[in-house]
């Protein structure tokens, strides 16, 4: 099939109106893996296809876009920018949206590639052209690309800021279109992942604006469209910045997270649980939550209940958040923090170990693995090891390979065993016999199958 692709490419390159060949080529490239196309593709082949986009024939343009999408996917972004720079620039000005989106998507691949992006950043004229071209577009992917370019460096952010595109995006955060607002906050959250992006957002007063919108959401009947994204923004900001400073400066954020988690709306509960998991993924964030005392303890009880009986998707999100909240790296296991994670664990349910064990025995691989990840999160903490040892049959369950039906489950169980074996306190708490069984499991690997000896019986068929 790859040979057929080369033949068709040659024929297309040599004809002025090759519609029949384009139809065949469109089908042929879909049947060949991208990697198989990489070796013999030349700039000449691709330039010929780009030239065929300059006609007023919708079918021909659609066929060429489909073929180029497949072929360009096979090529390294650095090769694309070095060999097809002019074609991509023309594509950004094309009257057909599908060609613009094709070109914007390729620029996006180049921006995300550390080897290729200097080709754009070291060419201010090209960067300016790209920004100006996509600035006039109302296509969502154009806005995403502006954020991607802004995230690369402080210099590229300045180009985008000077073009007025970032202020336009920020303006839409406070606009009347709730769905546009929801899309924009996702992009602004991406920008907040870089130090220069956070600095720009702070200088422009964007973080204060977002905080004020959350305050005003109380009286807005349409707030459910955008509020989840605004709360997630602060969750992500807290983790990359300082959870304590963000929560102290914007108390409405943590208050809103608690309100959402305490509500009866599954969508809001899901976002709140995700945000608590993000916030509590480092020690400083855990300490911020601990300061709320009994309110967080009672919220944990609700999260434990949701993990047991909510719809599957929310149960999974609760399990992931619980894992994130309870995990403590060995070097941060002070007595106070260990007491805190133990009290959080006991707040989840009257019998939390049995709760997660019952979830782990259910015939749903995602839930099964989610529960195993909770055990893995606490496996290196002495109080949890004592609980596991004191729970009848629990250690046998850990070393029993027959209860793991699929690869994901076997991998999750192996991570649990690894976390236990690598703990400094495990040999002392579990005792030598159990410790050696866990060591043997670890050494045998996740997919070990014990050989079953068979005895041949004389005369048997």
pLDDT in tens, 273-308: 999 999 999 999 999 999 998 999 999 999 999 999
The pLDDT of residue 453: 54
CA distance 238 to 385: 31
CB contact set of 323 (below 8 Å; sequence gap of 6+): 277, 370, 373, 374, 376, 377
The pLDDT of residue 293: 84
Q: Which among 26, 21, 29, 23 has a CA at the least distance from the CA of 3?
A: 29
Q: From residue 214, how far is each of 140, 218, 265, 277, 316 by CA, in Å?
A: 24, 8, 17, 20, 27
Which two three-digit tokens encode residue 253?
Answer: 């954020």
The pLDDT of residue 136: 62
The pLDDT of residue 258: 96
CB contact set of 401 (below 8 Å; sequence gap of 6+): 410, 413, 441, 448, 449, 450
Given a cut of 70, the residues of the chain with pLDDT beneath it are 1, 14-17, 134-140, 451-461
The pTM of this model reads 0.79
The pLDDT of residue 135: 64
Tens-place pLDDT, residues 335-392: 999 999 999 999 999 999 999 999 998 888 999 999 999 999 999 999 999 999 999 9
Q: How big is the chain by its Cα radius of gyration, in Å?
A: 28
Which two three-digit tokens encode residue 296?
Answer: 């967080």
CA distance 205 to 128: 26
Alpha helical stretches, state H, 192-282? 195-203, 206-216, 223-240, 243-249, 251-262, 266-279
The pLDDT of residue 16: 64
Instruction: Report yes or no: 201 and 238 within 8 Å, Cβ to Cβ.
Output: no
């Amino acid at each position: 099939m790859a040979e057929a692709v080369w033949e068709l490419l040659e024929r297309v390159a040599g004809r002025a109106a090759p519609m029949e060949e384009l139809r065949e080529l469109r089908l042929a490239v879909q049947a060949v893996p991208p990697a198989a196309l990489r070796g013999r593709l030349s700039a000449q082949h691709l330039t010929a296809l780009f030239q065929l986009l300059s006609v007023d024939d919708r079918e021909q343009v659609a066929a060429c876009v489909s073929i180029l999408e497949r072929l360009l996917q096979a090529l390294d972004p650095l090769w694309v920018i070095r060999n097809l720079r002019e074609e991509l620039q023309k594509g950004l000005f094309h009257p057909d949206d599908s060609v613009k989106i094709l070109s914007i998507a390729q620029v996006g691949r180049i921006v995300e590639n550390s080897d290729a992006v200097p080709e754009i950043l070291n060419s201010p004229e090209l960067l300016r052209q790209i920004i100006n071209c996509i600035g006039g577009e109302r296509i969502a992917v154009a806005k995403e690309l502006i954020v991607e370019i802004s995230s690369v460096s402080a210099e590229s952010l300045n180009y985008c800021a000077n073009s007025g595109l970032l202020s336009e995006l920020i303006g839409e955060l406070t606009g009347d279109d709730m769905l546009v607002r929801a899309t924009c906050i996702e992009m602004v959250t991406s920008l907040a992942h870089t130090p220069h992006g956070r600095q720009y957002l702070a200088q422009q007063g964007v973080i204060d604006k977002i905080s004020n919108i959350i305050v005003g959401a109380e009286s807005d009947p349409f707030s459910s469209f955008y509020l989840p994204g605004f709360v997630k923004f602060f969750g992500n900001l807290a983790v990359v910045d300082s959870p304590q400073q963000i929560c102290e400066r914007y108390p409405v954020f943590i208050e809103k997270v608690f309100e959402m988690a305490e509500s009866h709306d599954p969508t809001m509960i899901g976002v709140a649980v995700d945000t608590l998991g993000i916030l509590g993924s480092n020690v400083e964030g855990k300490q911020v939550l601990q300061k709320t005392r009994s309110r967080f303890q009672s919220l944990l009880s609700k999260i434990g209940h949701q993990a047991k009986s909510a719809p599957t998707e929310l149960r999974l999100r609760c399990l992931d958040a619980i894992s994130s909240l309870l995990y403590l790296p060995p070097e941060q296991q002070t007595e106070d923090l260990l007491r805190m994670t133990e009290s959080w664990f006991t707040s989840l349910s009257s019998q939390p170990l049995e709760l997660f064990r019952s979830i782990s025995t259910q015939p749903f691989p995602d839930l099964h693995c989610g529960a195993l990840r909770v055990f893995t999160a606490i496996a290196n903490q002495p109080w949890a090891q004592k609980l596991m040892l004191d729970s009848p049959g629990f250690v046998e369950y850990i070393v029993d390979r027959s209860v793991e039906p699929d690869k994901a489950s076997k991998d999750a169980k192996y991570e649990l065993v690894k976390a236990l074996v690598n703990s400094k306190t495990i040999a002392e708490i579990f005792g030598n016999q159990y410790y050696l069984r866990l060591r043997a499991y670890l050494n045998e690997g996740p997919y070990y199958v014990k050989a079953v000896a068979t005895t041949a019986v004389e005369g048997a068929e």
